[in-house]
C-alpha cells in the first residue's frame, strides 16, 4: 500500500507538477463559471458610448452608476417586480416544501399495495427529465381556462409543479435513511403517524428541509419560461422583466446588466450564508451520522 502510494505520488509530473496541474484545472473551472458574472457586473457599470465602441475591454475604462439609479427608481416598477418575485418565490417554497415533505414521508412510511410507493416515486423522478418547454403552452391554456392568467397563483402553481419532484426525491432519500428505532420508540411512546412526524422526524430533518427550501427558492427566483408564459404583466417576475430589455430597437445593455446584478446578488448572498447547510443536506442522504 505505502509503496504504491509513494510511487503514484512521484510518478509523472512529480509532486509539484501535480499540484500545479490541479490548481490549474480548478482555476480554469472557476474562470468558466465566473466569467459571465464578471462581464455582467462590468456591463452594469459601463458608460453607454462604450457599448458601441469595438475597442472597449472586458472591464469598462470608466464607471457609471446611472443604470442602477435608473433601474432602482423607475417609478417604483422595479420594486413592484421585485416584490412579485419575492411573493412568488416565498409562496412556491412554502407550498412545495410542506407538501413535498409530507408526500415523501408518506411514500417512505406507508405500506401501499402493488408497489405503489415505487411507482409514485418513479413518476416524480421521471417528470424531472422532460424539456420544460413542451408543457409551457398546455400550462398557458390551462391557466387561461381556469381564469388564473397573469395571477400569482398561475406562476406559483407552475413553479410548485416543477419543484415538488425535487423536494420529494431529496426528502425521500432522507426519510428512508432516518433511524428506524427512533420512530419505533415514538410509536411505543404512544405516537400516531402525524405526531411521530412532527415531534420526532421533522426536528431532526431540519438541515435537509433547509436544503430543499433553498433549492426550491433558487429555482423559483430564477425561472423564466413559465413565468413569462402565464404571468406576463401583473405577476411579472424579475427574469421576465430582464427579457424586456431586449427590444425591437436593440438590446438595452446597461440597464439589463444592472437588473441582472440585482437578481443575482440575493441568490449569491443566500448561498454563501447557507453553504454549510447545503453541503450537509445534499450529502445527508448518502452518509449517516
Partner 1 sequence: MAGLILSNVWKKFGSVVAVQALDLEIRDREFVSFLGPSGCGKTTTLNMIAGLETPSEGQILMDGLDVTKVPPRLRNFAMVFQGYALYPHMTVADNIGFALKVRNLDKAEIAKRVADAAERLELKEVLGRYPRQLSGGQRQRVALGRAFVRDPHVFLLDEPLSNLDAVLRVQTRVELKRLFADLDTTAVYVTHDQAEAMTMSDRIAVFRHGVLQQFASPLDIYRNPANRFVATFVGSPPMSVVEATLGDDNQLRAFGTSIALPEAVLGKLKVGKSYDLGLRAEDLVLAPDGQLKMRVDLVEHLGAQTIVHLSSSQGRLIAQSSPTEPAKAGDMVGIRLDPAGLYLFDRQSGAAIVTPGLIRQN
36 binds partner 1 (CB under 8 A): no
Phi, psi (degrees; rounded to nearest 5) at 246? -90, 100
Looking at the Cβ atoms of 122 and 194, the one nearer to partner 1 is 194
Of the pair 81, 108, the CB lying nearest partner 1 is at 108
Q: Which of 21, 133, 182, 273 binds partner 1 (CB under 8 A)?
A: 182
Nearer to partner 1, 22 or 194 (CB): 194
Residue 228: which of 98, 129, 131, 133 has the closest Cα? 133
Binding of partner 1 by 190 (CB under 8 A):
yes
251 bridge partner residues: 246
Q: How far is the CB of 111 from partner 1 (least distance, A)?
A: 10
Which cell numbers hold the place of 264?
A: 443575482
Does 188 bind partner 1 (CB under 8 A)? Our answer is: yes
Note whether 176 binds partner 1 by CB under 8 A: no
Among 200, 212, 229, 256, binds partner 1 (CB under 8 A): 200
Q: Considering CB under 8 A, how many residues would be counted as binding partner 1? A: 17
Nearest to 170 by CA among 115, 92, 103: 103
Instruction: Decide: is 203 part of the binding site for partner 1 (CB under 8 A).
Output: yes
- 229 CB-near residues (< 8 Å, 6+ apart): 136, 137, 139, 140, 158
288 binds partner 1 (CB under 8 A): no
H-only helix segments in the chain? 2-10, 14-44, 48-52, 66-73, 77-109, 116-126, 136-145, 152-176, 180-188, 193-195, 206-222, 225-230, 238-243, 253-284
Question: Contact between 189 and partner 1 (CB under 8 A)?
Answer: yes
The answer to whether 242 touches 71, Cβ cutoff 8 Å, is no
103 binds partner 1 (CB under 8 A): no
Please tell me the distance from the alpha carbon of residue 235 to that of residue 156, in angstroms, as a whole number. 10
184 binds partner 1 (CB under 8 A): yes
Q: Does 209 bind partner 1 (CB under 8 A)?
A: no
Cβ neighbours of residue 20 closer than 8 Å, sequence gap 6 or more: 13
Of the residues 57, 113, 192, 250, which one makes contact with partner 1 according to CB under 8 A: 192
Q: Which stretch binds partner 1 (CB under 8 A): 27-35, 82-90, 197-205, 272-280?
A: 197-205
Q: Is 115 in the site for partner 1 (CB under 8 A)?
A: no
Cell numbers of 275, please? 453553504
Query: In the complex, what is the shortest distance from the CB of residue 211 to partner 1, in angstroms, rounded to a whole number?
Result: 18
Do the bridges between strand 250-251 and strand 246-247 make them parallel or antiparallel, or are there none, so unpaired?
antiparallel
- Answer for which of 181, 249, 250, 286 binds partner 1 (CB under 8 A) is 181
Binding site for partner 1 (CB under 8 A): 179, 181-182, 184-192, 195, 199-200, 203-204
Amino acid at each position: 500500500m505505502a509503496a504504491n502510494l509513494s510511487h503514484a505520488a512521484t510518478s509523472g509530473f512529480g509532486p509539484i507538477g501535480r499540484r500545479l496541474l490541479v490548481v490549474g484545472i480548478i482555476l480554469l473551472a472557476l474562470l468558466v463559471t465566473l466569467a459571465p458574472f464578471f462581464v455582467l457586473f462590468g456591463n452594469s457599470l459601463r458608460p453607454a458610448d462604450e457599448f458601441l465602441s469595438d475597442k472597449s475591454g472586458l472591464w469598462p475604462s470608466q464607471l457609471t452608476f446611472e443604470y442602477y439609479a435608473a433601474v432602482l427608481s423607475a417609478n417604483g416598477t422595479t420594486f413592484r417586480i421585485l416584490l412579485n418575485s419575492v411573493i412568488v418565490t416565498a409562496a412556491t417554497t412554502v407550498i412545495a416544501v410542506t407538501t413535498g415533505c409530507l408526500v415523501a414521508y408518506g411514500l417512505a412510511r406507508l405500506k401501499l399495495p402493488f408497489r405503489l410507493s415505487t411507482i409514485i416515486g418513479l413518476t416524480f423522478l421521471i417528470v424531472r427529465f422532460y424539456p420544460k418547454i413542451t408543457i409551457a403552452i398546455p400550462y398557458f391554456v390551462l391557466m387561461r381556462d381556469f381564469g388564473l392568467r397573469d395571477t400569482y397563483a398561475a406562476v406559483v402553481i407552475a413553479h410548485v409543479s416543477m419543484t415538488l419532484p425535487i423536494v420529494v426525491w431529496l426528502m425521500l432519500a432522507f426519510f428512508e435513511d432516518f433511524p428506524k428505532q427512533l420512530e419505533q420508540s415514538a410509536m411505543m411512546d404512544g405516537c400516531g403517524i402525524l405526531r411521530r412526524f412532527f415531534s420526532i422526524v421533522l426536528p431532526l430533518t431540519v438541515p435537509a428541509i433547509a436544503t430543499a427550501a433553498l433549492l426550491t427558492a433558487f429555482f423559483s427566483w430564477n425561472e423564466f419560461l413559465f413565468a413569462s408564459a402565464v404571468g406576463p404583466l401583473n405577476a411579472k417576475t424579475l427574469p421576465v422583466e430582464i427579457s424586456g430589455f431586449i427590444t425591437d430597437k436593440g438590446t438595452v445593455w446597461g440597464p439589463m446588466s444592472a437588473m441582472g446584478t440585482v437578481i443575482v446578488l440575493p441568490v449569491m448572498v443566500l448561498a454563501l450564508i447557507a453553504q454549510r447547510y447545503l453541503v450537509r443536506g445534499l450529502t445527508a442522504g448518502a452518509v449517516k451520522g
